A and B are shown apart, each in its own frame.
Chain A
């Protein structure tokens, strides 16, 4: 964990205690927010109060130690701030005085909070920022660092969203049953994007990598609250399956290690088993969806001893189902990577190249093409494709991997690895 810049947590000392702080704040922030909205009836005010309390905690706990009852501490700070603010009318002050700790946070309170943050009338970026701030207790500064945005951009995004919630009459509520599926999709998309941002970020961006933990936490909460929704289980399993492989994804130089060369002994077997169990429970409901299918694909990899013993036939089948539910050129690209192992590189390459028009600006298109060309012994074309993809990604870990491949190609004109024999 790198030391955090910026005013609010300048004093955060060692790694473990910073992580402990984040965990404790996360444990309590959402419940406090839910309780305060219930009392004040105003989402925006409650959100501000919680943020104030979180910032105070991150300043003072590293110096004073974590209080014995962190939840009560946060609550007291939030309530005192509310009472201090002179702009509030007496009625509101009276209501605040009545709240007693510990406050019960009911299932619906927490759900209301999550669904309000992810309301479809808010832009996606605001949904993400609000959810991280309100439900995970992240500060604006932490969100800005994780997403490589400026603090003022994130602050503006949040205040605009809260203003819209208030002005447009977006009510703080759990959606009715007939809207639930569509609204749940929004929540899942937000959690998925939080995970993705963390997963794709490189080793030097510790703040971003924490996002995977936050996504795991959010999905775990939602799974507790809505255990009968199979896609919630699917997303939670997917996040856990990705996290389980985190250790082996980068080499000592910070370059990405491709799946077929990862040290599988570093994979977290307990976490994989937990994820597989969650996925099985979800699958028993017979309502497949994109997250369950993606998780099932990753599970095929996670359970295989190595690349060769991976059930590629099953993976291609899962991609077919995924394409049926959610067609996308990216999914077709990933399917063609699996196709290389079942139908051979020539057929896979033809599939990849059929996506040229849609994916020409996407680095993974060229990177995949390069690998398949290399398999077929067309080294020069492969190197050209790799040079193309190098120009399309700014992610340093991806660039390190690609640069290494180009260097290797230039050193050994005939391919170092003989092209794979094609079945049929």
Chain B
């Protein structure tokens, strides 16, 4: 089955990350790279996204002019910071992968419509 993992950042996580020393930060990155390497056989694609302040949201209402707003579609303390598409045997395998994720504190697992 295919799933998309949506990686979600929190303000707290951002602050903690900024408060780290350079070696600590390097180590955190290493863990993330290692996770991607360990699961390379299951990862089909994905990207890290630029900062949420670069996002633009367009709301399309039938008949009305599109409304364009600055920022992500949900204004909040939690924002999507990246995504990966994975292909695994079943949900439990996806869950197992995500449990080991060393980065941001929230990951949403969404099955892809086949």
A171 touches B91 (CB 8 A): yes
Nearest chain B CB to A24's CB is how many angstroms away? 34
**B interface: dominant SS:** mixed
Q: How far is B14's CA from A109's CA once the two chains are assembled, in angstroms?
A: 46
Q: How far is B111's CA from A179's CA once the two chains are assembled, in angstroms?
A: 21
With A171-B89, A171-B91 given, name 7 new contacts (CB 8 A).
A121-B91, A168-B91, A168-B109, A169-B1, A169-B94, A170-B91, A171-B92
Q: Judge if A173 is at the interface, Cβ distance under 8 Å.
A: yes
Tell me the B residues contacting A by CB distance below 8 Å.
1, 3, 89-92, 94-96, 109, 111
A169 touches B96 (CB 8 A): no
**Mask: chain A, 162-188; 1 = CB below 8 Å from B; 0 = not:** 000001111101010001000000000
Interface centre among A120, A167, A169, A170 (most CB of B within 10 A): A169
Nearest chain A CB to B90's CB is how many angstroms away? 4
**Mask: chain A, 76-98; 1 = CB below 8 Å from B; 0 = not:** 00000000000000000000000
B111 touches A169 (CB 8 A): yes
B111 touches A168 (CB 8 A): yes
> Which residue of chain B lies nearest to A175 when distances are taken between CB atoms in the complex?
B92
A173-B92 contact given A167-B111, A168-B111, CB 8 Å threshold: yes
**Mask: chain A, 93-129; 1 = CB below 8 Å from B; 0 = not:** 0000000000000000000000000001100000000
Nearest chain B CB to A396's CB is how many angstroms away? 42
Chain A residues contacting B109 (CB-CB under 8 Å) are 168
Interface centre among B3, B90, B92 (most CB of A within 10 A): B92
A179-B92 contact given A168-B111, A169-B1, A169-B111, CB 8 Å threshold: yes
Chain A residues contacting B1 (CB-CB under 8 Å) are 169
Chain A residues contacting B111 (CB-CB under 8 Å) are 167-169
